[in-house]
Amino acid sequence: MHLKYESQLREPLVYGDKTYHQVTEDIVRPIEAKPSRLWYIGFFTAVALLMFGVYSVYREVTYGIGQWNLNKTVGWGWDITNFVWWVGIGHAGTLISAILLLFRQGWRTGVNRAAEAMTIFAVMCAGQFPIFHMGRVWMAFFVLPYPNTRGPLWVNFNSPLLWDVFAISTYFTVSLLFWYSGLIPDFATVRDRAFTKLRKRLYGIASFGWTGSTKHWQRHESLSLVLAGLSTPLVLSVHTIVSFDFATSVIPGWHTTIFPPYFVAGAIFSGFAMTQTLLLVVRKVFGLQDYITMGHVEAMNKVIVLTGSIVGIAYLTELFMGWYSQNKYEGYTFWYSRAYLFSPYGWSYWGMMACNVLSPQIFWFRKMRRNLFVTFFMSIIVNTGMWFERFVIIVTSLYRDYLPSSWSVYYHPTIWEIGFYMGTFGLFFTCFFLFAKYFPTIAIAEIKYVLKTTGESYKDKMGVYEAQPLEQFAHDQTHH
């Protein structure tokens, strides 16, 4: 008897002749094996980068914001560019785990765990920038609204910057809860096959005493579904609110109503690119090709070409509106500061166009979508392009304001600004290396759940049912 049935037309999500036990073996094996030399090299490189970042931040905290090259018009530079870039990357995880869950996209099960981890680490990196951009970071707690002895002096609840505080911290908290609640049953799996006392103890703590009781699973399913339902508008709201940081201002280049959907599409675009970068490495290093299949890679490339094109339309719409509004400041920003190749920052605009709009079009071809080298290369290109996009939005709108006497200074970062950015790469990859080594990188229980409908060997046996008339199939499925 088959409890579920899926058409053979759909590609299997799990390759090979797998049993439930084999799934456990395959996914837990990298956790139980000693890390490879490559892992150590990668991990310590990441830690070294992190240390450089810590030193850069130390200088900024000790000597002040003057360690960065921000000037009288470019008050937001690399720091806020990097903030928006990281937050954008942090969108794919929740999109995959929440929106694709609601849309019943079966392929999300193979990639959601790693993508959610990526989300959490990316948001952690993003948060550093506005916090240290405050300058006097020891007063960062002033953003929290609590009855205080300063009046009480409250925060401005009408400000998009405060909305951001709420949006990012809520997003981080909810993503973390979603991720961890999914991890509990998988930690229990690792715990129950631990072969040293220490592992048993630590995974015992991490698994919260999970037993796999039917009632607990029922609640777990309910929890996942509601968290997915909550996260879906949440993930859209976060980048919308980040875009409000710009869109509610009156700066030419920022003051546009297209920003929320444009930012959200861009976030999904860059998030999927980063997911590709990481997962292509993970599947190769841990030998998880049976679980993160070519079908997964292709599905994500489809999302990349779709969102890349949406972003492209947004760029063109902005240019059109820059002309159509007949506002000369808007026109100057869009047509001179950005789109004119030989303006001071024209290179960044055309870099953005080439990376985000033109090159992803290659994914209209199935052959390219299923080519790992092209995919990996494109994932780097897209993330570079998305960094350019944020740089373009922030710096080209600021470097020439209404007062031509302020125009002279060309903004370029100091080594400590770059160091801070490198440091967040260090933080991100340090966390990701630890995650890949000690956490199940694929949701074990979810794979088992879809195994008998989408596993290759099970699908092969479905041919009999495919040929049967519907009445016969229905008859056989009924208990007698």
Partner 1 sequence: MAKKKFVVGCFDDEAVLFPAVKKVRTAGYKIHDVYTPFAVHGLDHAIGERETSLHTAGFIYGITGTATALSGIGWIFTRDWPLNIGGKPHFALPAWIPIMFELTVLFSAVGMVLTFCYLCQLAPFVKKHHFHPRATDDLFVMVIECTDKTNVDDLKGFLSSNGAKEIDVQVAETGWWLGSYDKNEVLFENRTVAA
**Binders of partner 1 among 4-33, rule CB under 8 A?**
19-22, 24
Per CB under 8 A, which of residues 324..353 are in contact with partner 1? none
- 221 touches partner 1 by CB under 8 A: yes
Nearest residue (CB) to partner 1, 45 versus 181: 181
Question: What burial letters (b/e) apply to 370-392, b meaning 16+ CB within 10 Å?
Answer: ebeebbbebbebbbbbbbbbbbb
- 475 touches partner 1 by CB under 8 A: no
Nearest residue (CB) to partner 1, 130 versus 423: 130
Is residue 463 within 8 A of residue 213, CB to CB? The reply is: no
Q: Interface with partner 1 by CB under 8 A: which range of 39-47, 203-211, 274-282, 318-326?
A: 203-211
- 213 touches partner 1 by CB under 8 A: yes
- 197 touches partner 1 by CB under 8 A: yes
From residue 406, give the alpha-carbon distance in Å to each of 254, 356, 361.
19, 31, 40
- Matching residue, tokens 């299923």: 370
Q: Interface with partner 1 by CB under 8 A: which range of 72-80, 180-188, 274-282, 402-410?
A: 180-188
Nearest residue (CB) to partner 1, 228 versus 418: 228
From the CA atom positions of the chain, what is the Rg in Å? 24
CB of 99 vs partner 1, minimal distance in Å: 15
- 145 touches partner 1 by CB under 8 A: yes
Q: Interface with partner 1 by CB under 8 A: which range of 69-77, 221-229, 264-272, 340-348?
A: 221-229
**Residue of the chain from 225, 415, 464, 474 that contacts partner 1 (CB under 8 A):** 225
State the Cα–Cα distance between residues 204 and 455, nearest whole angstrom: 30
* Backbone phi and psi for residue 52, each to the nearest 5 degrees, phi listed first: -60, -40
Per CB under 8 A, which of residues 244..263 are in contact with partner 1? 244
- Nearest Cα neighbor of 105 from 294, 280, 278, 296 is 296
**Size of the residue set binding partner 1 (CB under 8 A):** 76
Nearest residue (CB) to partner 1, 204 versus 312: 204
Dihedral of CA atoms 256, 261, 264, 268 in degrees, nearest 10, equals: -130
Q: Angle 372-23-216 (CA atoms, 0-180°, nearest 5)?
A: 120
Per CB under 8 A, which of residues 393..452 are in contact with partner 1? 445-446, 448-449
CB of 170 vs partner 1, minimal distance in Å: 4
Nearest residue (CB) to partner 1, 26 versus 330: 26
Q: Interface with partner 1 by CB under 8 A: which range of 181-189, 262-270, 293-301, 380-388?
A: 181-189
Per CB under 8 A, which of residues 160..179 are in contact with partner 1? 160, 162-163, 166-167, 170, 173-174, 177-178
Nearest residue (CB) to partner 1, 104 versus 479: 479
- 143 touches partner 1 by CB under 8 A: no
E-assigned strand segments in 233-329: none
Handedness of CA 150, 156, 161, 167 (dihedral sign): positive
Q: Angle 205-206-210 (CA atoms, 0-180°, nearest 5)?
A: 85
Reading phi first (left if > 0) and then psi (alpha if -120 to 50, else beta), residue 411 is in: beta
- 479 touches partner 1 by CB under 8 A: yes
CB of 356 vs partner 1, minimal distance in Å: 27
CB of 246 vs partner 1, minimal distance in Å: 15
- 239 touches partner 1 by CB under 8 A: no
- 203 touches partner 1 by CB under 8 A: yes
- Matching residue, tokens 């530079």: 77
CB of 32 vs partner 1, minimal distance in Å: 8
Q: How many Å from the N-terminal Cα to the C-terminal Cα in the chain?
A: 12
CB of 295 vs partner 1, minimal distance in Å: 21
The two tokens of residue 109 are 């099960």
* Backbone phi and psi for residue 48, each to the nearest 5 degrees, phi listed first: -60, -45
Question: What burial letters (b/e) apply to 312-324, b meaning 16+ CB within 10 Å?
Answer: bebbeebeebbee
